[in-house]
Each structure stands twice: as C-alpha cells, then as structure tokens.
Amino acid sequence: MSFFKEVTASLDLDGQTDIPRHPLTGISVLIVGAGPAGLYTALECWRKGHSPHVIDRTPSPSPAGDSFMMGPSAQQHIERTWPAVYAAALKTAPDPWMSFHKVTGERVAGPQPFSFNKGVVLSEDDEPAPDRVFRVSRPKFTAALLGQALALGVDVSFGKRVIDYFENENKGGVILEDGSKMDADVVVAADGLGTKSHKLINGHEIRAMSSNHSVLRTAYHVDNFITRPELDKAFPLREDGGALLQIWTADDLQIMVLRAPDTIQWHIMHNDIAGNSKESWSNHVSPEYVVDFLKENYPDLVGFINQTNFLKPESRKKTAGGSATPQPEYGHWIWAHNPERYAYENYGKALRNVVDGTPFQNTNIPPGYHYKPWTLHELYEKIEAGEKLEFEGDWS
C-alpha cells in the first residue's frame, strides 16, 4: 500500500463533480481483476451511470510489472475522458526512440522515432496521426487508475480470490475461495488468461498454449545503472534527454533494453530451452538463475546480466544479418480507427443480430479481411511446415 500512496500522493485526481456522468442506471457491475483493464472498466462503468465493484485476489495493490505500450485509441480516449489519469500517464510514459542492432552490437538503423502514419496522415475522423509512443509504467499507471477509482467512491476490495463463475436468469456472480458468493447485474472477468470464466462462457476451460518461447524481463531504478560508466555509455539517453530503446536480434533471440530518465528495463526473449516457463506474471526467478541459464545456453550474454559489459562484438557467431527491422509497422487500420464511435454506431445492429438474426457484418477489421475460424495449433503447423502466414485484406 505504501507504493500506491507514494504514487497517488502527487496526483491531482478528479472528483465526482469533475467528470461528466450519465444519469444513474441502477445497474450493478462486478469486475474481477484490479489490473489496468479491470480498473479502467470500473471508471467507464461509473461514468456511464452504473455502480461498479472491483475485487482482486491479491491482498493489497500490487507494484508488480514493468511497462506496456498504450495504443493510440486508448491514449486518445483517456486524454478526452480522464484528464487526471492522462496526466499521470504522461508523467510515467517515456516516448522512446528506437535503434536496431545485430546481436553483435552493430547498429543497423536509428535512433529514430516510432512512426505511425506510414504515408497516411489522417485518421478516419480526420485527426492527425499520433506523434509519439506511450510506454507506460504498469505499476504506476495501475496505481493512478486505482486512485482515480477510489476518489470517485468506487468500491475496490482486495483479498478476494475467485474460483468459479455462475449466472442465472437475473444475475451473474462468482464463488470465492472461502465459499462465499458475490453477484451483480453484470459480471466482467478481467482476471487474465487463467480466468475461471472460460468454463461458463465457452463451456470448457481454456489453457494458454505454449509458444515455445520464454522471456526474462525486469525493471529497476536507473541509480543501479549509472554507477557503471561502461553501461551508461553503451545504453545512453537521447541527446535531448529522452528515452531510447535498443533492440538486438538474432534468429533465436531478441533483446530489448529501454533506457528512460528514471528506469532501466530489459527483456531477453528466447526459445524455451529449459521448458519451465509459465503463463504467469508471478513466475519469478532469481538473478542467479538468469546467470546460470545464460551460462549454459547463451554464455556470451552473461556479462550483460552481471552489469559489466553487454556483448563483445566478436562473441556471438550465430548472427542473422538481416534480422534487425529498420522500420516496425503499426497498421493504419488500428491507429486510425475510433473504437468508441464504432461501438455507439453498431451496438444496436449487433444486438439485433443476436436477438432476431438481422444480418450484421463487423467492419472494425482490416479492409478486405473476412473472418474464418482459426487456431494457434493450425498456425504453428503451417510455420513448422515452412509455410508463409498470409491473411487476406489490407493489413498495412
């Protein structure tokens, strides 16, 4: 709780009279999961006049996690609707430029800003393309969402572990670990891939499929970094003091090091050689494990973890010369789309399709694409067979 108080103490959160609210609906909403998705759902339910209640299995607000990219549509909605949360995001979200390297350290391209427009400069609402990336701190952003929810009087309860979901003609609900039940008019499962709601919604449990890859990732304060001049030189800030993301790639390895003004984050994505990765944000390993793992499988990288050197130019022999990507792509159909307006315009049409079968075709997809059922197993079989994955439509 001390981390939560430390973050929210510096925020000028909006009160109940600061945010325009729809008339009260009398609809109760139970939201399982106090992560970014669950808490933002609670804020929007409150704004729409509903009565949200958030529960989470952790005993208190968690500072776990490093960062994630906030997409343009989410960023724009927060900016329009929740000014205090947006201000908090600006404080914690560096706008990293990127440079691309072979795994030997040789720079292929950059540093350069991330480009959204790819030649298309206006959205479907004739708004200009985004001019920056939001890489938000997950713990700080989540704390801001929680602080905003509490400032509005939203009920948030911790220490509530859900073991099952249920519904009847009038209510939906959950069964907690202690055997007690909670219900509401609407239940939102925002408790991640391992949610127990799959059995109710899909008729059976759904388990995450292994990608045969694993990622080691961490974040720490920059004070633990700048005391090592060789690292400070190898992974500097931009000349203007902004964040810089270095991406190092080989055919079986991708390393990302984000140097921001206040934090260092690094990710090492690799083939799951050890076979002990889990689909979990709580699968912690010790620094000693990381060093031992790299000594056995990627010995040239141990120096980076030990914070002495990152990688000697001559050290790694298996290098894919063309594996660095000079210009990452972000589909125009994503950043130019206004999902909120689309929902307002199409909710009634979709409802009629469910109720009486009136034809309805989603258009919030790449132009020219027509949905066909698919599974990850099928995609992996194609990859293993050497087939190129191609989808119809314009994904540019």
The pLDDT value recorded for residue 121 is: 67
Last-in-domain residue among 166, 184, 202: 202
Asked if 241 and 273 sit in the same domain, the reply is yes
What is the distance between the alpha carbons of residues 99 and 112, in angstroms, rounded to a whole number? 7
pLDDT in tens, 107-137: 888 788 877 766 666 677 777 777 777 888 8
What is the distance between the alpha carbons of residues 11 and 19, in angstroms, rounded to a whole number? 16
Any residues with CB less than 8 A from the CB of 5 and at least 6 apart, and which?
none
43 assigned to some structural domain: yes
Secondary structure of residue 75 in the 3-state scheme: helix
pLDDT in tens, 176-230: 999 999 999 999 999 877 787 877 777 777 777 776 777 778 777 888 666 677 7
Asked if 145 and 120 sit in the same domain, the reply is no
What is the distance between the alpha carbons of residues 71 and 14, in angstroms, rounded to a whole number? 23
And the tokens for 230? 């060789």
pLDDT at 354 over 90: yes
For the chain, percent of residues with pLDDT exceeding 70: 81
Quote the number of domains for the chain. 3
The pLDDT value recorded for residue 134 is: 82
Minimum mean pLDDT among 10-14, 242-246, 392-396: which range? 10-14
Confidence of residue 55 (pLDDT cuts 50, 70, 90): very high
Asked if 393 and 309 sit in the same domain, the reply is no
- Average pLDDT, integer, range 99-108: 80
Q: What is the extent of the structural domain holding 27?
A: 2-94+135-202
15 assigned to some structural domain: yes
The pLDDT value recorded for residue 308 is: 33
- Average pLDDT, integer, range 128-147: 84
Confidence of residue 306 (pLDDT cuts 50, 70, 90): low
Confidence of residue 4 (pLDDT cuts 50, 70, 90): low
Q: What is the mean pLDDT of the chain?
A: 80
pLDDT in tens, 229-263: 777 777 888 888 888 988 888 777 788 888 888 88
Maximum mean pLDDT: which of 159-173, 234-248, 303-317: 159-173
Q: Where do the H-state alpha helices sit in 222-265?
A: 229-234
Maximum mean pLDDT: which of 29-33, 58-62, 73-77, 284-288: 29-33
Asked if 296 and 221 sit in the same domain, the reply is yes
- Average pLDDT, integer, range 306-314: 36
360 assigned to some structural domain: no
84 assigned to some structural domain: yes
Tokens 């060789």 identify what position?
230
Asked if 101 and 73 sit in the same domain, the reply is no
Minimum mean pLDDT among 9-23, 32-46, 83-97, 314-328: which range? 314-328
Give the other-Cβ count within 10 Å of 29's Cβ.
Answer: 22
pLDDT in tens, 19-32: 899 999 999 999 99
User: Which is more confident, 327 or 217?
Assistant: 217
3-state percent helix, strand, coil for the chain, nearest multiple of 5:
30, 20, 50
* Rounded alpha-carbon distances, angstroms, from residue 40 to 77, 210, 216: 11, 29, 28
Asked if 120 and 41 sit in the same domain, the reply is no
Asked if 36 and 111 sit in the same domain, the reply is no
The pLDDT value recorded for residue 329 is: 62
47 assigned to some structural domain: yes
Any residues with CB less than 8 A from the CB of 108 and at least 6 apart, and which?
100, 101, 102, 324, 326
pLDDT at 325 over 80: no
